[in-house]
Amino acid sequence: MNIVTVTGYKPMELSIFKENDSRIDFIKAAIEKRLIGFIEEGLQWVIISGQMGVELWTAEVVMDLKEKYNINLGIFPPFENQESRWPEHLQEKYQELTMVADFYKPIYQGDYKGAFQFKAKNMWFADKSDGCLLLMDDEFPGSNRFFYQAAKEIEKDYPIYVITPADLDDVVEELRMQNPDYWSG
């Protein structure tokens, strides 16, 4: 797998409203763990649409991984100015990430025109990548369900990797066990 697309929940779908929420660290650790495995098997590109939440956290993870691995980040929003209605701190983070990404290009020129742009974005990502990594809970798929459905409809062999709530629980436990105080209790 040379190119993987990563997507998942928006922060509000996870009831995350602050950038310093500790759950973000656990999500990023789970994404990093999976991406390192893919990189060690030959992954070269991580592509995202740059939506807030899992995708921006993934971009931050990839930028950190660049210090140790030869990995590239591509950001392909469905249209220009997708961040225009986001909270200001997320707009700033998005703009910073688009400047440091290895590649940035909106799929559609111009601002939002209609829901068709999101459907086309999902098909574009499934077509341009060799597989996907989703943070998703089958019981509460949220906005992820649209990309997941598009990925399942791909006619080529298209692996769909999922980070589940159980995977996140494992990461939380691994991180707790790395704390020396965990063993002295």
| Tally of CB atoms within 10 A around 53 | 22
Q: pLDDT tens track of the chain, all 185 residues? A: 999 999 999 999 999 999 999 999 999 999 999 999 999 999 999 999 999 999 999 999 999 999 999 999 999 999 999 999 999 999 999 999 999 999 999 999 999 999 999 999 999 999 999 999 999 998 998 888 999 999 998 877 899 999 999 999 999 898 888 877 766 65
Residue 31, pLDDT score: 98
Neighbouring residues of 28: CB distance < 8 A, sequence distance ≥ 6: 57, 60, 61
For the domain made up of 3-178, give the CATH fold: Rossmann fold (3.40.50)
Residue 182, pLDDT score: 66
- pLDDT single digits (tens) 69-95: 999 999 999 999 999 999 999 999 999
Residue type (1 letter), 141: P
Which sequence spans correspond to the domains of the chain?
3-178
